């Protein structure tokens, strides 16, 4: 009897865990990966809130995160591989 109660409890937890979606937006994850890869100089040159940076589809299934630079001197684009969760390239 104890085994059945334990089994039903475990199954209930598994069903609940599988049905709950992660509240984290994948675009926020890409922004965070990109921002973390920047040097302190690059981070200090970003205009506005980096957490609102534009994220767009890029080649080979990757994404590009575009940070605007202060004084309208350009952008810093960071290419992120969503599968491996790493930066592929930083384009300035």
Alpha helix positions (H), 1-92: 2-19, 26-37, 40-44
**Alpha carbon separation from 3 to 8, 26, 70 (Å, rounded):** 9, 39, 63
Does any domain span residue 52?
yes
Containing domain of residue 54, as a range?
Answer: 24-91
Please report the pLDDT score of residue 69 as a whole number. 96
Does any domain span residue 87?
yes
Does any domain span residue 71?
yes
Sheet holding 86-91, edge to edge: 54-57, 63-68, 75-81, 86-91
Does any domain span residue 3?
no
What pTM, to 2 d.p., does this model score? 0.74
Does any domain span residue 40?
yes
Total domains, the chain = 1
Q: pLDDT digits over 20-44, tens only? A: 455 689 999 999 999 999 999 999 9
Does any domain span residue 18?
no
């Amino acid at each position: 009897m104890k085994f059945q109660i334990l089994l039903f409890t475990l199954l209930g937890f598994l069903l609940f865990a599988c049905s709950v979606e992660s509240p984290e937006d994948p675009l926020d994850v890409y922004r965070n990966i990109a921002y973390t890869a920047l040097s302190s100089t690059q981070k200090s040159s970003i205009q506005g809130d980096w957490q609102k940076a534009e994220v767009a589809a890029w080649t080979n299934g990757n994404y590009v995160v575009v940070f605007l630079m202060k004084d309208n001197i350009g952008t810093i684009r960071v290419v992120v591989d969503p599968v491996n969760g790493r930066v592929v390239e930083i384009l300035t």
